[in-house]
Amino acid sequence: MEAFEKLKKLLTESPVLSIFQQGKTTELHTDASQQGYGAVLLQEAEDGKLHPVQYMSKKTTPAEEKYSSYELEVLAVVNALRKFRTYLMGNHFKIITDCSAFQRTMDKKDLVTRIARWALLLEEFDYEIVHRSGQRMQHVDALSRYPVAIITSDTLTARLKRAQQEDEYTQSLRSMIGSNSDSDFFDKNEILYKYVDGRELIVVPRDMQTEIIKLAHEKGHFSAAKTEGVVKQEFFIPNLSKQVQNVIVNCVPCILTNKKSGKKDGFLNPIPKEDVPLSTYHVDFIGPLPSTNKKYQHILTIVDAFTKFTWLYPVKSTSAEDALDKLKVQQKTFAFSNHHRSTPRKWASRENTPNSYSRFDQTVNCRLNQVVQVRGPTSKNSK
């Protein structure tokens, strides 16, 4: 009950989203980093304070991560304008950013192609740019950072510290610090860290490596690549990719979620290719279709496997009798001289095709003419 009351209180306190209203003072706050970019659309309320209308946060793509800092800032503004276009089009508003180079970039006459394209998009809007220090932009700065990370609580940090002291691997790394001045490893508050791409990562002892990977993976049961990225935000684990794969393979919720349900796919039943025409026929029905004046509702299709030539015969039903009547016509039409066959060597149909093999045998004398029936896969729509 106490938690419910606290939740109600938080939902009614700042920052509560407000409804956008035309004509009121509007500001767009943006920020960007190599990890992502974010924006907040705010409007002045009756109390004279700015209230958020909508938030935006997006992770940068691998190509966008290579942009310069001011390009990322412009990218954040451009995507925010696209996101909030329905609110901002036709209204005057302020763009608040902590990038002092943004205004100078927009004032340049010679712009690179990408920036020039973005500048054209900005021309659609009525705005003014206001620079503000980064210390006053923390609310939007959080939206430009990687949203998923393991928060190293005091309890977890204390456990890592104790485990490092008992782990031979981390102790051997500590011994390298004094003897090698170029080592990337260093001690901070009695915890072993490693510099990786300018970041300070905690070296995880062997006994806790699987636990840390599970903590990262279970925050959303991410893929291997994303789980690895979450771990690398705060921790250093050797051979991380292999260990992440092992954790995900043995994750029960992931196994149950990814398990296929329903009827299993059947095996394919390929039919050998022929080297002469009229040797193998594929037989099937189309329908039921709207009835004609003569009560025809189905189409018997016969396809020659070699030439792919197709014959279509109207039939009143899918009974064996109607099918065999048309097969007799097919047989007579292509009756050749004595040194040619007048019947195919094979005919292929679905498992549930109504023309029974026994009735077909009676018509074309399969044994005498060495005709073989090949059953293809059952149609998914068949009953």
Q: Token pair of 124, please? A: 């659609």
Tell me how far apart the alpha carbons of residues 124 and 119 are, in angstroms, rounded to a whole number: 9
Please give the CATH topology (third level) of the domain spanning 10-144.
Nucleotidyltransferase; domain 5 (3.30.420)
Least confident of 185-194, 226-235, 371-380: 371-380
The reported pLDDT for the residue numbered 71 is 85
> Among the ranges 254-258, 295-299, 345-349, which has the highest mean pLDDT value?
295-299
pLDDT band of 269, cuts 50, 70, 90:
low
* Furthest CA-CA distance within the chain: 102
DSSP state of 306: T
Average pLDDT over residues 138-160: 70
Strands (E), 20-165: 26-32, 36-44, 50-59, 92-97, 126-131
Please give the CATH topology (third level) of the domain spanning 280-375.
Nucleotidyltransferase; domain 5 (3.30.420)
Domain ranges of the chain: 10-144, 154-255, 280-375
Chain segment 324-369, per-residue pLDDT in tens: 777 777 776 665 433 444 455 666 666 444 444 455 555 544 444 4
Average pLDDT over residues 279-304: 84
* Contact predicate 347/304, CB 8 Å: no
244 vs 196, higher pLDDT: 244
Domains 10-144 and 280-375 share a fold: yes
CATH class of 154-255: mainly alpha
Average pLDDT over residues 170-187: 76
Average pLDDT, the chain: 78
The reported pLDDT for the residue numbered 382 is 42
Tell me how far apart the alpha carbons of residues 315 and 300 are, in angstroms, rounded to a whole number: 7
* Contact predicate 148/220, CB 8 Å: yes
325 vs 79, higher pLDDT: 79
